[in-house]
Structure 1
């Protein structure tokens, strides 16, 4: 038997670890917070996003790792590592990230606060007048909400809520008391409905006092006649990964199951403990024992705990003019000014492609609002995944039902962290007379489509909207997405059949313009890739450009490797997770991977296949992930209108041309920020789309400029995240003498190390968790 270090196994694998890839994505977001070219407030905004991302990562992805352990499920990471060594590497990477995140805040950003018109100060740094105001705030608002909870032989261990700030206070009775010298541990949770910072106005700036500092300064008011030995601030993250115990029984009560899961989430296993330095031994021993966590799950924060709260500063009214202002949406090229006043009339004869946020979502919302009032509209069918607060979309559907239209809505109540909102909105529509379906058994409905059925003379016309983004007016302002408005009969027929599948019991043989999951999306994408490989072998023009959020499915990755070996130039624009290794000799030399991270969140999915000079181009809701193909209801749509295809190709062209927000992926999984070449003008894709026109699109020679010509190699330079070589922990792996392809399923390496401590099963059912989507 040959011995290999785990780092050798990781390098040997032709796949990048999904979870380590995600952490590298968060490093790219952190790089925005480090960008001295941005304003301080904008950098704080990105720093807060990294904290929000990391919270969700621990709740979902790290939570899922413990699901496997708690229920005895075997899991092997894409890198080939079993659960325990992989978890150690993952937590080690997370510790490095938190260290860099904290340093960014304390060393790079905090020194700039005063010049920017604000400060974060402790109570002792306030003036006497300011301290009196802070004391008054504590007395009148904070103190009545605090509930000290002692833990001893008479009082059980208190339930601590997910992601709340909590003080662990060690006290001792005064010498003259009856219990002299006895130490007690008490927990004081700071309620979530208190603002993260107490705000004070000075002449020249706004002062923000962290709520924990106000509580800390007044703890003696909660502990009368006892000595406070230590008071340590902490914050826990619980496993938030749950799923339905779904069955084929059509009577399964999805709402009841979801509500039960939401309650379970509040009591899930603790997967992370953030704590101040120098915590007492009593506190740490109790917490580790109660929650069955080890040092890898404990993050000592030498700075502000819960950086998400920085959003309160970023959104302060005094600083509105200090944040970058996005440009106003421009008129869609395929929708003339004024045409949206009567969209039914315009769409009878024209298709429209919208590219958000550069084009407003208003035409989509207006179409629904016009449909609600139009006497010729017979019905509306729509899928909904995430809605905005005070949603105009929901209001339009409600009005349509009140006006006697037949309204069918599939509300996906399994949309993570929007479950309660969707249940609430669905119930409201149901009471108004809408036909509401709360999800589909065994699948999450992630596709975004709507169809309006309108009587026009002797015929019925179907107005279709289908795209990559949610029906959410708020996120459409900073998520990039593509969507199509059309009355093309083929789209109408396909979408009608698709609605019959998800709301009824139907399995159509084929769609003409749609590729759907879980039907055969993986197989169809693989066939399109194989067609390009075949054309390349014949000497015909071939090329692939894919833009997506995440690339994780191994079957598709393997097919891309084969196409690369066949000589197909492949350009991948993957914002987040990418499990494919680009540029490996003999495997992926013709594949380039880049990630665009900047002002807007890249949410668009586009799949371009050159097809011997007759391109096929799809857009839609799906990423190239196992969950998208096997556990979700998804749809990609073929763009057939030549003018709209030019627009979509231009989107890919601009993405590949960007040299301002782009990070190039190395073979080892690390990313390098792309810089303009000598003499190359700066090209910021998040600005240039506001100025696009048909003249520019005539120059968008995607194939000639980015497929025929090989792009420059990934430049040397400092990576924005740790490489594989820096993630070596030294574990040894026993492998058979013969060469084994690590595929995570069959040939499993054996780890030589001491066994882990036993872990008590938690309440969460075993599932494969989903990817973090909120950035």
Structure 2
């Protein structure tokens, strides 16, 4: 193949993005089938897969279907028509869903019964259950359920996205003498999908739960007095949940509120229904939602596993508890400010606690010498300690500026509430730039110290969300470096004011300089390799889709650059292809924690350039978002990130999946006589050892 790979691609050089994302979801599903994981964690992985698949259909599949509906010619770099992609998605998704319920019904539920946890379905209801179920139905369910008959006066109802519903076939006449054949029973969202039975109805030491669908089915005739239900089948429709905002909106918050209400009733993209539902009812529902057999999914269990309980208090069925540590340098200081005056501090979540970030803001809120706080917020709920600290700072007279990205997907409503809280406290709230999501993770604190002002900065790869920091792997850098602080200050000015692109000293930022700088660094490694010098690139991101970067990596591989890519989910680059990418390896780590760090390493003829960033290598991050990429210059911190955040993951032989040239992801297995090595567990053990010392 030619050494000059153009930026145009086809399926031989570019893996389809949607199919690659679906493969990631299947790797998550595989965790539910992994007996190395504790039982309840496997159930949790099954729920995560269900949630991931919901979003995949709501956003990615919905987008493809919308393009077809509008007859838009939007050929992806892989050059595969959308019709074929949707067909392949359907094939793979149907197989995955079948595997999902097989794992649930044949493995997880039977194993849970061994621990006294049992789920009662309709056919499992015993005589001793009936009195309690009857009372629960008439007191808790019937008063809030609204059965809807289907006749000329009652057309098919508008059903909310992902809501649980039942289609009921009926015989007989209603109170007005009408023959009714069909009815819809929506399950109110206020009702739990699984209800715990009283202990006295269970064998000693056991916990029994009954599905809401089983209770309603048992008493469905009471919803239709004088008539007889001859069939009862659960179903759920998934709709397009993406939001579309015009570029010329007058008020982003108001426009977003209007769009949120429409999300619940977008175009239908998937229908899930009981596996035993008759064909005539399947066909009827598909017609109502304008769907085809390709979008029909028959399921053997609850149609929404995301609401299935998994919070049982059985420690042996959970991961061994791990409590993140406070870095030693911060443990015995009264003020974080005193530490940062003398040295930078690196936090690697969730192995290091997120508490220092919260403590820094709390100190800043109370400190009379702090004059101003500026922060970007992408996913931080109104109950967040971060938000509470900013509210306190504003009330204490600090100049607080919050750049809130209202359009963080599925957190839009929460972000609007956060914006209102901060505004009421007196903070300046800015919604970023219309047309560009603000995805950078930055805090800037201005503090008076004697006659001078000193700036304290936090830069991160992940969101300011304490919950995420316990589950996602991310890096955060605390520093007072003057050049970095000046760069962060300029980016905030870009976000809040009007003016030309800021010229930065050390940071790269999207949508301005980051993409070009990445191409430059790849090209430099390519040139080093062509000169016969050592050349290496290691990139750890969540996704790699950007065609120009992929082309540049192909050129680097052909020149002899060793390229190691650690990609959590989507990877459109095709590795290990002779003459194209034989020097490129791609692996994905899927385990206890969600891999979220973005780290870029370039050998650079021995000078070792290392950056952390908020940006993945995707077109949206590099061209349609405000992103920050910051250098790691401290030798000790640089060494730590290279070892713990990169090489450590390249050594994993148990939780790592490797992408092959044929698009297949293969789980890496320890070689004969080789010890198992799990990168995340190594980092946990490392912190446990530090605490003991």
C-alpha separation between the residues in 1 aligned to 2:68 and 2:567? 31
Deviation of the 1:131 alpha carbon: 2.4
C-alpha separation between the residues in 2 aligned to 1:280 and 1:27? 29
Question: Residue in 2 aligned with 1:206?
Answer: 207
> Taking structure 1 as reference, are residues 124 and 204 closer, same or farther at Cα in structure 2, changes over 3 Å only?
farther
Question: Residue in 2 aligned with 1:390?
Answer: 383
Deviation of the 1:134 alpha carbon: 1.9
Question: Residue in 2 aligned with 1:514?
Answer: 507
C-alpha separation between the residues in 2 aligned to 1:660 and 1:503? 46
Question: Residue in 2 aligned with 1:57?
Answer: 56
C-alpha separation between the residues in 1 aligned to 2:10 and 2:501? 44
Deviation of the 1:677 alpha carbon: 2.0
* 5+ long unaligned stretches in structure 2: 1-8
1:187 aligned onto 2:184: yes
C-alpha separation between the residues in 1 aligned to 2:131 and 2:664? 51
Q: CA contact under 8 A between 2:174 and 2:227: conserved in structure 1?
A: no
Question: Residue in 1 aligned with 2:684?
Answer: 690
- CA RMSD in angstroms comes to 1.9
Deviation of the 1:691 alpha carbon: 4.2
Deviation of the 1:547 alpha carbon: 0.2
Deviation of the 1:358 alpha carbon: 0.4
C-alpha separation between the residues in 2 aligned to 1:175 and 1:418? 44
1:503-533 alpha-carbon deviations (Å, 9 max, x no partner):
1113345322211111122111011000000
C-alpha separation between the residues in 1 aligned to 2:415 and 2:173? 53
C-alpha separation between the residues in 2 aligned to 1:302 and 1:342? 56
**Which residue of the other structure, out of 576, 592, 604, is the alignment partner of 2:597?**
604
1:63-113 alpha-carbon deviations (Å, 9 max, x no partner):
111221233321224432112122111111111111111111122222212
Deviation of the 1:585 alpha carbon: 0.5
Deviation of the 1:125 alpha carbon: 2.5
Alignment of structure 1 residues 307-322 onto 2, 5 Å: 307-310=305-308, 312=309, 314-316=310-312, 318-320=313-315, 322=317
Q: CA contact under 8 A between 2:458 and 2:479: conserved in structure 1?
A: yes
1:329 aligned onto 2:324: yes
1:347 aligned onto 2:340: yes
1:699-738 alpha-carbon deviations (Å, 9 max, x no partner):
xxxxxxxxxxxxxxxxxxxxxxxxxxxxxxxxxxxxxxxx
RCO higher in 1 or 2 (8 Å CA, sep ≥ 6)? Answer: 1
Question: Residue in 1 aligned with 2:114?
Answer: 115
Deviation of the 1:330 alpha carbon: 2.6
* 5+ long unaligned stretches in structure 1: 1-9, 697-775
C-alpha separation between the residues in 1 aligned to 2:314 and 2:193? 17
C-alpha separation between the residues in 1 aligned to 2:386 and 2:399? 16
**Which residue of the other structure, out of 473, 488, 494, is the alignment partner of 2:487?**
494
Question: Residue in 2 aligned with 1:714?
Answer: none
Greater mean alpha carbon deviation, residues 62-71 or residues 159-168: 62-71
Question: Residue in 1 aligned with 2:661?
Answer: 667
Name the SS for the 2:392 alignment partner: helix
Q: CA contact under 8 A between 1:535 and 1:541: conserved in structure 2?
A: yes
> Taking structure 1 as reference, are residues 529 and 165 closer, same or farther at Cα in structure 2, changes over 3 Å only?
same
1:458-484 alpha-carbon deviations (Å, 9 max, x no partner):
111110000101111111001000010
Name the SS for the 2:181 alignment partner: strand
Q: CA contact under 8 A between 1:446 and 1:634: conserved in structure 2?
A: yes
Q: CA contact under 8 A between 1:164 and 1:192: conserved in structure 2?
A: yes
Question: Residue in 2 aligned with 1:505?
Answer: 498
Name the SS for the 1:575 alignment partner: strand
Greater mean alpha carbon deviation, residues 345-354 or residues 84-93: 84-93
C-alpha separation between the residues in 1 aligned to 2:391 and 2:613? 26
C-alpha separation between the residues in 2 aligned to 1:129 and 1:176? 33
**Which residue of the other structure, out of 623, 626, 633, is the alignment partner of 2:626?**
633
Deviation of the 1:336 alpha carbon: 4.5
Question: Residue in 2 aligned with 1:271?
Answer: 269
Question: Residue in 1 aligned with 2:237?
Answer: 236
Greater mean alpha carbon deviation, residues 273-282 or residues 229-238: 273-282
Question: Residue in 2 aligned with 1:227?
Answer: 228
C-alpha separation between the residues in 2 aligned to 1:243 and 1:618? 33
Question: Residue in 1 aligned with 2:578?
Answer: 585
Greater mean alpha carbon deviation, residues 235-244 or residues 559-568: 235-244
- Could you tell me the TM-score, scaled by structure 2's length? 0.95
C-alpha separation between the residues in 2 aligned to 1:263 and 1:71? 23
> Taking structure 1 as reference, are residues 292 and 345 closer, same or farther at Cα in structure 2, changes over 3 Å only?
same
C-alpha separation between the residues in 1 aligned to 2:547 and 2:232? 49
Name the SS for the 2:61 alignment partner: helix
Alignment of structure 1 residues 73-222 onto 2, 5 Å: 73-174=72-173, 178-179=177-178, 182-200=179-197, 201=199, 202=202, 203-222=204-223
**Which residue of the other structure, out of 557, 562, 565, is the alignment partner of 1:569?**
562
Deviation of the 1:456 alpha carbon: 0.6
1:735-769 alpha-carbon deviations (Å, 9 max, x no partner):
xxxxxxxxxxxxxxxxxxxxxxxxxxxxxxxxxxx
> Taking structure 1 as reference, are residues 394 and 570 closer, same or farther at Cα in structure 2, changes over 3 Å only?
same
Deviation of the 1:13 alpha carbon: 2.2
C-alpha separation between the residues in 2 aligned to 1:596 and 1:15? 21
C-alpha separation between the residues in 1 aligned to 2:175 and 2:586? 70
1:355-411 alpha-carbon deviations (Å, 9 max, x no partner):
000000111100000000000000100000001462110000000001000000011
1:445 aligned onto 2:438: yes
Q: Which 4+ stretches in 1 moved above 6 angstroms?
A: none
C-alpha separation between the residues in 1 aligned to 2:677 and 2:327? 21
Q: CA contact under 8 A between 1:658 and 1:684: conserved in structure 2?
A: yes
- Could you tell me the TM-score, scaled by structure 1's length? 0.85
Deviation of the 1:284 alpha carbon: 2.8
Deviation of the 1:321 alpha carbon: 5.0
1:190-242 alpha-carbon deviations (Å, 9 max, x no partner):
11121121102321311111111111111011011112232111011110011
C-alpha separation between the residues in 1 aligned to 2:472 and 2:642? 19
Q: CA contact under 8 A between 1:570 and 1:590: conserved in structure 2?
A: yes
C-alpha separation between the residues in 2 aligned to 1:70 and 1:150? 31
C-alpha separation between the residues in 2 aligned to 1:581 and 1:619? 24
Name the SS for the 1:549 alignment partner: strand
Q: CA contact under 8 A between 1:74 and 1:83: conserved in structure 2?
A: no
C-alpha separation between the residues in 2 aligned to 1:19 and 1:169? 36
Q: CA contact under 8 A between 1:11 and 1:668: conserved in structure 2?
A: no
Question: Residue in 2 aligned with 1:679?
Answer: 673
Question: Residue in 2 aligned with 1:246?
Answer: 247
Question: Residue in 2 aligned with 1:759?
Answer: none
Question: Residue in 1 aligned with 2:4?
Answer: none
Alignment of structure 1 residues 298-309 onto 2, 5 Å: 298-309=296-307
1:476 aligned onto 2:459: no
1:526 aligned onto 2:519: yes
Question: Residue in 1 aligned with 2:616?
Answer: 623
**Which residue of the other structure, out of 262, 279, 286, is the alignment partner of 1:288?**
286
> Taking structure 1 as reference, are residues 171 and 641 closer, same or farther at Cα in structure 2, changes over 3 Å only?
same
> Taking structure 1 as reference, are residues 224 and 112 closer, same or farther at Cα in structure 2, changes over 3 Å only?
same
C-alpha separation between the residues in 2 aligned to 1:177 and 1:356? 64
Deviation of the 1:116 alpha carbon: 2.1
1:11-46 alpha-carbon deviations (Å, 9 max, x no partner):
952111111111111111111100112222111010
Aligned residues: 676
Question: Residue in 2 aligned with 1:709?
Answer: none
C-alpha separation between the residues in 1 aligned to 2:621 and 2:24? 20
Q: CA contact under 8 A between 1:372 and 1:397: conserved in structure 2?
A: yes
Name the SS for the 1:160 alignment partner: coil
